[in-house]
Amino acid sequence: MAELQNSAIFAPRVIEEIQAKAESGLYAIRGFGTLRERRWPTFDDLTFLPCSLTRIPLEGYREKCSTKTVLGTRFAQKPIQLDIPVMITGMSWGALSYNAKVALARGAAAAGSSNTTGDGGMLKAERDNSRTLIYEVLPSRYGINIHHMRMADAIELTIGQGAKPGTGGLLLGTKVSDRIAEQRDLPIGVDQRSAARHPDFLGPDDMIIKVEELREATDWQIPIFIKLGASRVYDDVKLAAKAGADVIVVDGMEGGTGASPAIFQEHTGLPTLAAVCEARSALQDIGLYGDVQLIIAGGIRDGVDAAKAMALGADACYIGTASLIALNCNKPMYEDDYRAIGAAPYACHHCHTGRCPVGITTQDPELMKRLEVEDGAERVRNFLQVMTLEIQMLARSCGKSDVHHLEPEDMAALSLEASAICGVPLVGTRKVFGH
């Protein structure tokens, strides 16, 4: 009997997906971010080249290596000053529970870092527990409030998100509780599909005026960030700089989300590694590299990823999913509750259901109790501090007394593609391929 063989095109998973669509009439919506095996170059395709004879390293546990991070030096009267270059990205109260938002704020503050509001506006407890709070202005304008804006340390005008560039937020009705509905001026229980475009400007020229409005509203005191989902990064970064951004955030395709159509997470946008390289090139080509600070986001897992992003040109990194994992996302506990929503520890991307077993991406009061704010804040603080120590270790080994002095020359590429994308030599050669 001939050996049975699966189709590589219509593999079992593809067959299941087609049949699920045929039976339900629904496309797949889920949270978390891309699940694909990454066949494209990532930060793992780079290796650091620590000092030996040609460079002098710093003592790993003794000599100073500054992590102080200043953002918004271009136009703002009061740039942000952080102790570390790792920040918490914008995630909404709605996608996240109240406890998760407060734990992130408190943990970031304890580590000397910042956190960001998200779709739906600012929570009082979030402001009270933050040291540096960035106020997101999103296309939906849910919860927009000038008083909150003026309590912020920076404004982030969000154009897009790495997990789903070109589309708006999504919060399914199970998470639009009475409190969330009130905050967002929505009927309780609707499937909230946020706008993809801002309601009062369309293109980059209008955005110049919008940025001026935000500056006028805050008396030119605080920095204006412009956040882009990574797609046409090179041109978008130049346009954002032209619009007057103090800081540009580029969010790569490995970025997470509380909910979106799965196809966006898997098939749209530029990988984070490519995004940081394009962003740096864009700022260099218009002579604003260093004047406009660059934050990179999207799948940053540890200090190694962050250090590589910084060596390629980022001034700081955002983390989102990693910070939720620090809060116990996907941890093997409450396993029956994972199973009840068709998930399992390490394989849960069911944020969209509102039934998060560990109390992070839920509005259910009972589930939320599973995330204790003080414990969560401690874990976030620890994780941010360890990430920072990892960046410092690599920087010192490369002879840098400031983590911001890391540069492409400190690395080599482990693949031809990474060499071409990052402009660093391929290991075993002295060639930068594609340049």
Partner 1 sequence: MVEIDAAGRTTREVNRAIRQRIAESCKEVVLRNPGARHNLAVAILEDAHIRIAGSAGYYCGGLIDGPSIEVEGSAGWGLAESMLSGTVRVHGSAGSGAAAAVRGGTVVIHGDAAARLGVSMKGGIVIVAGNCGYMAGFMAQKGTLIVCGNAGEAFADSMYATVCYVGGEIANLGTDAVIAPIDAGEAQQLEKILSTHLPATLRSTKPAAADFKKVVAGRKLWNFDKREWRTWQEAL
| Contact residues for partner 1, defined by CB under 8 A | 24-26, 140-142, 144-147, 149-150, 173, 184-187, 189-191, 195, 199-201, 206, 209-210, 212-213, 216-220
Minimum separation from the CB atom of position 172 to partner 1 (A): 8
Compare residues 184 and 238 and give the one whose CB is closer to partner 1: 184
Minimum separation from the CB atom of position 64 to partner 1 (A): 40
User: Dmax over Cα atoms in the chain, in whole Å?
Assistant: 79
Torsion of CA 8, 9, 15, 20, to 10 degrees: 140
Q: Report the phi/psi class of residue 185: left, alpha or beta, with left for phi > 0 and alpha for psi in -120 to 50.
A: left
Compare residues 115 and 218 and give the one whose CB is closer to partner 1: 218
Compare residues 155 and 412 and give the one whose CB is closer to partner 1: 155
Q: Which phi and psi angles does 170 have, rounded to 5°?
A: -145, 130
Compare residues 157 and 310 and give the one whose CB is closer to partner 1: 157
d(CA 281, CA 54): 27
End-to-end CA distance of the chain: 54
Minimum separation from the CB atom of position 202 to partner 1 (A): 9
- Report which of 355, 348, 364, 357 is spatially closest to residue 31, judged by C-alpha positions: 348
d(CA 131, CA 94): 22
Query: Buried (b) or exposed (e) across 379-406, using 16+ Cβ within 10 A?
Result: bbbebbbebbebbbbbbbbbebeebbeb
Compare residues 25 and 428 and give the one whose CB is closer to partner 1: 25
Minimum separation from the CB atom of position 184 to partner 1 (A): 8
Minimum separation from the CB atom of position 272 to partner 1 (A): 28
Q: Which phi and psi angles does 308 have, rounded to 5°?
A: -65, -40
Compare residues 199 and 428 and give the one whose CB is closer to partner 1: 199
HSE (side-chain half, CA atoms, 13 Å) at 177: 17
Give, for 194, the enclosing helix (H) or strand (E): none
Q: Report the phi/psi class of residue 177: left, alpha or beta, with left for phi > 0 and alpha for psi in -120 to 50.
A: beta
Minimum separation from the CB atom of position 227 to partner 1 (A): 18
Minimum separation from the CB atom of position 26 to partner 1 (A): 6
Compare residues 116 and 167 and give the one whose CB is closer to partner 1: 167
